[in-house]
Amino acid sequence: MPIEMNYCTQCGTKLEKKFLEGEGDVPYCPTCADYRFPVFNTAVSMIVRDPKGNILLVKQYGRDFYILVAGYVNKGEDAEHAVAREVEEEMGLHITSLHFNHSHYFAPSNTLMLNWTVTIGDETAHPNREIDSYAWFTPDEARQRVRQGSLAEEFLVGYLDQKWSFKPR
């Protein structure tokens, strides 16, 4: 369930709903005399491809399933920079190209997920401590090995089929 903003983030006054032309009912702070729009996290997830077209999947935090490389966008950081930073931090790899795929709001963590495809050069991964293990898969193998029912699967299958369809959560 999305996190509901009930109090002004500037002054702490209880918000009330007020009609705004073109927007509908929006949280409004009577003290600041200003509308307060939703606040949420922003994260990136990456379909990492090597020069041969294989796809990188990772296991993290003691969990026994494969997912995509992902991470949060830092305050003041562009999404494209976050993509390169996360791939380098988590896997020690440098991207040579990136392409935006699709976005999806993920309510359980109040996060707007931005999915990208990145290509790396011909180099060896050097994962950090966040990564328990990783493997390179052909696209068909990756489709079978990514965690079923996950947002990572929805992004990967959407990319492979060029058709995105997200399940309600």
Amino acid at 96: T
Cα distance between residue 147 and residue 35, in whole Å? 40
On whether the CB atoms of residues 82 and 92 are closer than 8 A, the answer is no
Binning the chain into helix, strand and coil, the percentages to the nearest 5 are 20, 40, 40
Determine what percent of the chain is predicted with pLDDT higher than 90: 85
Decide if pLDDT at 38 tops 90: no
66-83 average pLDDT score: 97
1 in Cβ contact with 7 (< 8 Å) = no
pLDDT of residue 169: 66
pLDDT at 66 over 90: yes
What residues does 44 pair with on adjacent strands? Answer: 71, 114
Q: What is the pLDDT of residues 85-127, one digit of tens each?
A: 999 999 999 999 999 999 999 988 889 999 999 999 999 999 9
pLDDT on residue 91: 98
Compute the average pLDDT of residues 133-154. 97
pLDDT (average), residues 32-60: 95
| Predicted local confidence at residue 3, as pLDDT | 58
Q: Are strands 24-29 and 95-106 parallel, antiparallel or unpaired?
A: unpaired
